[in-house]
Amino acid sequence: MEKNLVMITGATSGIGEACARKFASAGYNLIITGRNLEKLNAVKAVAETAGAEVLVLQFDVRNRQDAEKAVASLTGKWANIDVLVNNAGLALGLEKEYQGDMDDWETMIDTNIKGLLTMTRLIVPGMVERNKGHVINIGSVAGDAAYAGGNVYCATKSAVKTITDGLRIDVAESNVRVTNIKPGLVETNFSVVRFHGDKQHADTVYKGIKPLCGDDIADVVFYAASAPEHVQIAEVLVLATHQASGSVICRKHE
Ligand code: NDP
Ligand code: 8X3
């Protein structure tokens, strides 16, 4: 029997990399995408050890032409994607909105919103045509309400929620399912990226609380993907036990 096929964007690190391992060990074949070819090949090797066939596509989700070219190159068994995990994304900075870096804003908007939209626009028509598929977007608790310094990042994840809800409405006549997974604090490379490589600063984000890890989120993503066909997990908020919202975090527990 033909294996199911998942495409995961931003598979070189954190949640995306954990999803690659999870889906591979569950019997899926994988298309993994990202910018760093060396890291993609390392993830590919691990997934192949778990029994998956893996195709690597190197492109930046902000580059529409490259994304189009990569998707157009898919033929044969690689053309019929069953699950798209729109994971590539980032936060940059935690400055007050009136002091923020406008280049950082542009990068977040281009990646988290426009990149996700590009991949959706390129992959979902095939799903609708085949009347089969599942789009799983990685949103965030940050999209539920703004927190101090979160401003533009929160807005991008709020946009992910609306874009996910809109797509769910637009494909409701088909068997295509649409899910928004909204993690809270997950210890990945996320905060190192947010603070422009300052690992010490990044570590303070997870001080006094046991955060989630990439595997915790991959488990939820996989749960949504493997639910019976008539079950659509529309949205899941996943928090560490001592986090209550984007801004309420009890740091007395390590
Ligand atoms: P990581 O920094 O560990 O991983 C982010 C991934 O996205 C990397 O593979 C990165 O690749 C990729 N990426 C970033 N920009 C681009 C781009 N322009 N084109 C292609 N790939 C890109 O962080 P996480 O795993 O934590 O983040 C994954 C998703 O989860 C993001 O959407 C994030 O917003 C979301 N999230 C994270 C939370 C957390 O607390 N960690 C909580 C809630 C949501 P590269 O190595 O090339 O930069
Ligand atoms: C990432 C989680 O709370 O750092 O989206 O914004 S948070």
DSSP designation for 21: H
Query: Is residue 119 one of the residues assigned to a domain?
Result: yes
Give a yes or no: residue 78 inside a domain: yes
Task: Find the ligand nearest to 248 CA.
Answer: 2
> Six-digit token pair at 116?
């996700």
pLDDT recorded at residue 253: 55
Phi and psi based region of residue 32 (left: phi greater than 0; alpha: psi -120 to 50; beta: remaining): beta
In angstroms, the Cα distances linking 18 to 30, 44, 89, 132, 188 are: 13, 12, 15, 24, 10
Ligand 1, atom nearest to 183 Cα: 43
Question: Is 32 inside a domain boundary?
Answer: yes
Per-residue pLDDT at 106: 98
247 domain residue, yes or no: no
Taking the CA atoms of 146, 149, 150 and 153 in sequence, report the sign of the dihedral they define.
Answer: positive
Residue 211 inside a domain? The answer is: yes
142 lines ligand 2 (CB under 6 A): yes
| In a domain? residue 37 | yes
Question: Catalytic: 153?
Answer: yes
Total domains, the chain: 1
Question: Domain with 69 in it: what CATH number?
Answer: 3.40.50.720
Q: How far is CA 104 from CA 63, 154, 173, in A?
A: 16, 13, 38
Ligand that lies nearest to the alpha carbon of residue 217, given by its number in the listed order: 1
Ranges of residues in the chain whose predicted pLDDT is under 50? none
Q: Tell me the residue range of the domain where 86 lies.
A: 5-238
Out of 98, 147, 153, 223, which one is annotated catalytic? 153
Residue 243 lies in a domain: no
Please report the pLDDT score of residue 254 as a whole number: 53
d(CA 142, CA 155): 8
